[in-house]
Structure 1
């Protein structure tokens, strides 16, 4: 296919947060995820990080009308990178895709790191549970760095703009994984 696609590995895996279709389950070799703080933003971003020894699951989705500007606006703070190799799409659908990643030059280390929004994490994990099942959601945690950063429990009043309501089972899964990884919830 010659139409543009992007590879989503975080909130874009949750189809409830966007209307980008068609979308296909995919796997990207040579990348992992990390929670990173950046200049000009209080809470950390989930970003892709090149890592030759890692593989992450996600979705590839069509960029409607080839309008990268609208998608770039949603993904403000990220740069787009062409994916020259390492992308496998379910059903062997051939796509040319790009992936968003926070520019290294904008990343900062905070002495007292601002917390990850639980409403953001919930959206991501809900997407993985629905697309890849529990095994895929377990893999999300295993292929993501930065779990030493605390998590802010904002479920009662979500701060994340694309927050979703989780089922009781989805909520229990997220909470259990945070305990398993020793994440401090504030």
Structure 2
């Protein structure tokens, strides 16, 4: 296929947050995820980071009308990277794709790190539960670094603009993983 595609590994896995179609389940070898802070933004980014020993699941989706500008706007703060080898797509769908990641020069370390929005984490985990089941959602946590970053419980008044309502089972799953990973909820 000659149409442009992107690989999503965070909120873009949750199909309820976008209208990018067609979309296919995919695996990207040589990357993992991490919570990273940058100047000028309070909450941390969930970003992809190169890691030769890791593989992450996600979705590969079509860029509507080839309009990268609209997708770049949604993914503000990230840079696009062409994916060479390491991408496998469900059904062996042949695609050329790019992945968004925070540029390393933009990353900073905070002594008292700003918290992850629970409303954002909920969206990401809901996407993994619905696309890859509990095993895939467990794998999301295992292939993501930065769980020493606290999480702010904003479920009652969600800050994340594309927040979604979770089922009781989805909510329980997220809460149980936060306990498993020793994440401090504030």
What is the number of residues matched between the two proteins?
Answer: 186
**Structure 1 position 14 matched with structure 2 position 14:** yes
The C-alpha deviation readout for 1:46-69, integer Å capped at 9, x for no partner, is 000000000000000000000000
CA RMSD of superposed structures (Å): 0.3
Aligned pairs for 1:20-169 within 5 A = 20-169=20-169
Q: How many Å apart are 1:39 and its aligned residue?
A: 1.0
- Structure 1's unaligned 5+ residue stretches are none
- Structure 2's unaligned 5+ residue stretches are none
The C-alpha deviation readout for 1:60-92, integer Å capped at 9, x for no partner, is 000000000000000000000000110000000
TM-score (norm 2): 1.00
For the residue of structure 1 that corresponds to 2:174, the secondary structure is helix
The C-alpha deviation readout for 1:113-146, integer Å capped at 9, x for no partner, is 0000000000000000000000000000000000
Structure 1 runs of 4+ with >4 Å offset:
none
